[in-house]
Structure formats: C-alpha cells, structure tokens
Amino acid sequence: MHRLLKRQLHKLYPDGLPDDPKLASLVELVEQAYEDFTEDLLITERSLDLSSNELNTKNQNLNSLLNAMPDTYVWLDSKDRVLELRVGQSLQGVFSLHEKNQSLASTIVTDDISNLLQHLAGVRDKTQPNIYEFSLHTQGDDIHLEARFAHLSQGQVLIIFRDITIRKQLDNYLANALEESKRTLQQLQDVINSAPIGFAITTLDNQVLMLNDYALEKFKLDKNKPLPQDFSQLITSNYQEHYHQCLRTFQNNDGQPSSINRIDIEMGSTTARRFLAEIAFCNLVIEGKAIIIQTFLDISERKNLEQQLRCLAQTDSLTGCFNRGHFTVAASHSLAQCQAKTQTFSLLALDLDKFKQINDTYGHAGGDAVLKAFCKITAQQLREHDMFGRFGGEEFIIALANTNHQQAHLIAERIRQQFNELVIQHEQYQIQASVSIGLISSEGDDAHLEALIKQADEYLYLAKNNGRNRVYG
C-alpha cells in the first residue's frame, strides 16, 4: 500500500481497518489512483529529461522540411484545431488563419467544407483513404484540391493541399474537345504540349503513338527520332510486373474509375535518371479508334519529404533509434511472427548506469554525447533485422527475433563489454560509463510484448541491485 495512503488510514483507524467490504473497495480505488499518479509522474519526469538543445534541433529540422514543401499544409491537433498553417503561392486567397486554435472549418475561405470534414473524420477512424480530391467554391471561383493526410503523434494530423485545378480543367477540356470535334492526334499534341505533366497516348496494346514535350524532356528523347515502341520501356524493371497488372485491370474494367486508375511507380530510360511518378490511365475514342492516355507526374520530391516526415515521427531525434511508439508496434509484429513460426523471441532492457551523475558532472551536452556514443556502439553489435529503441532518458530496449536465450546473452554481453571499454571524448573531458542489461526470452508461447518488457525490466533492476554493469536474465 502506498505510504501516504497508509499514513492517512492509520490516523483514521489506529486500531486497524474495520471489516467493511465497501470501505475495502474504496481503499482499493484510492490505492489505484495513487499508483496511476505515480506512473504519470514518472512518465513526465522522463519526458522532461530531453535537453532543450535536442528539442530546438528537432523543431528546426521539422520547420526546414515543411518550409521546403511547395504545397499548402495545415497541422491539426486531435480536435481539428489549427496548430500551424503554411499557404502555398497558388492558394493564398483560400486559406486564412486569424487566431490561435482556430478550427479547420473557419480557416478555409468557402461556403461549405462539410465533405472535407466528413472525410477527415473517416481518415481519423481509418475508414477513408489518406488521399482525397474535392472542389471548393470561393471568391466566385471553383477550385479543385487534392488533400493528403498523414497521422502524427498524439492524434495530430498533417494535411497537405495541392491545387489541381489546372489538371482537372485540362482533363475536362481534353475529354470535351475530343468528343465534340474528333480532333486529330496532332491537334491534341498542340494542346497537351503546354501541360506541366507528362502525356503519353498509346494503343490498347501499349504501343506509343505520341509523347508530349514534358515527357520527351523528362526522358531525354529526341522528338525527331523514333519513339519507344512500347510505353512499358519507360518503366523500370522492378515495377514492370506491377505496371502491367494495373494496366490489365484498368482495361478489364473498360476504363471505369477505380483505385487502379492511378498508381505510383518508378520510371526512367537509358538516357535519363530514374524518378518516382504518379501515373493515371484514361480511355478515349478518337475517330472511332480506342486509345489510352497515360499521364504522369514526377513525385520524387514529395515522396522524399513524406519519408523524412515519417522518419521524424518514428525515430528519436537525438540517437536515431526507434521512438517508443514505433518500437512497440514493430516489435509486437515481430513477436507475433516468431510465435506463428514457433521461434524464440528475446528482449533486452538496457539502462545506463549512474546517468544522472553524468548529467550533473558534464551537463546535458555531455549526457547527450554519452547517449549517442552508446547507441552507435550498440548498433554495431546488432544485426540488420534487430530492433533498437529508446524508451526515454537513458532507457533503451532491443528486440531480437529468432534468437534463443544463449545467443541473446552473447549479444548483450558484447554490448556491455564494448560500451564499458569505450572512452567518450567530450570537450576537454574523457567520459567512461557502463550499462546494465535485463534479458528475457520467449519461445513459441502467447506472451504479450508488454509482459515481456515488464519481465526484462525486473531482470534489469536485479542487474542494478547486484552491482550494475552486468547482464541478468
């Protein structure tokens, strides 16, 4: 029983608690509240252990990434209030932020965004896709937007808006023009050559009839020389099978809208660099002949930015290890795979010895240097499929799939020995530190990750209590 609760009960009942079930239940509830408060306090203390330099660096890196994005983005909290808004050049009159914690609905200058808000709710509960195209009527104009949603921590959502009005207008214009006037391929070439996206017109068997100027420039092709015989020649070998499968599915659906109509793929040629592209298929009939229009757009920059944002959401910015949330998800999946294959799953709980003393002696910068050095030397002892995460402060955890207890103990001992022998140079100081490690192994049973972590922590504390700088388990 918590010492504070025990003290108060003794004051009220010096001769001991009465034999009353209701009073016993009340005491049990109060005891649970004390435990929850203690746990919350511990989590808060660990969170505050992050140095101000680390937080500043993380914010600077994130701001640099977001500033580099050409599109408009809105950062929402869990209640759909705007935390930050950055507006791209093409959407200056569409978005407006007047006050702190402003709702998304009042940020977009339009009559009605109910469909967008409804889709956002679906994205949050994972019943709607993370890409959504919609139209707005604002300032007398119809604007077509594409919204891409990214889940962040603590229920926050990042929405990236792209103005696709030109693309929509161009698609509609081409379809109407071809249907009404049966324009020839040359007339179509004049229209689409000015488009800022790639256009390829092919036969139903994918023979290239025409490439617009954007496509010719992208693939470094000479318009005065023969075009590639088959459009798939512009798809890299690793994506050939996926491309042909999607194209066949599109043709089997008679060109009806579906999720296959738009795919992400890698393109390139012998004369040009490879790049990631978004390809869309469209069926048309010109002068009685069915053709396929394949439009594509280079999305390499967007994919790189998305990957960097994803990395920031999954890793600890100081050490580069998985953060607690991502480690828990990845390790749980790895444990399930080991259990399905009746393989041994081992877990290491690691804690740097006397780390508070290091911080007090050398400052947080010195402590950060020790953490980085520990993570670097630990990563060198791990295999490619091993998972290494930071749980907070000086606490770390390692998941070792398909690794028995003896193998895991050897890995843990190598980490302990290598770190114990390491001399860390920080400013004019030479710092040495040690690590205590708790080890637990589970073979083919139905244990949960949380239970294994708890057992590994118990062994870790035994290692601490038995002199530190040792592996226990």
Active site residues: 394
Place of tokens 């959407």: 91
Q: Residue 226 and residue 245: Cα distance in Å, rounded?
A: 27
Q: Residue 220 and residue 190: Cα distance in Å, rounded?
A: 20
Nearest of 299, 302, 283 to residue 291 by alpha carbon = 283
Amino acid identity of residue 249, one-letter, is T
Strands 387-392 and 131-138: unpaired
Which residues pair with residue 73 across a beta bridge?
86, 160
Q: Residue 20 and residue 28: Cα distance in Å, rounded?
A: 12
Q: What distances in angstroms separate CA 145 from CA 73, 84, 123, 397, one per listed residue?
A: 12, 19, 17, 43
Q: What separation, in Å, do the N-terminal and C-terminal C-alpha atoms of the chain show?
A: 28
Q: Is-contact 419 394, C-beta < 8 A?
A: no
Nearest of 107, 114, 104 to residue 81 by alpha carbon = 104
Structure-token pair, residue 221: 């092709």
Structure-token pair, residue 219: 């693939």
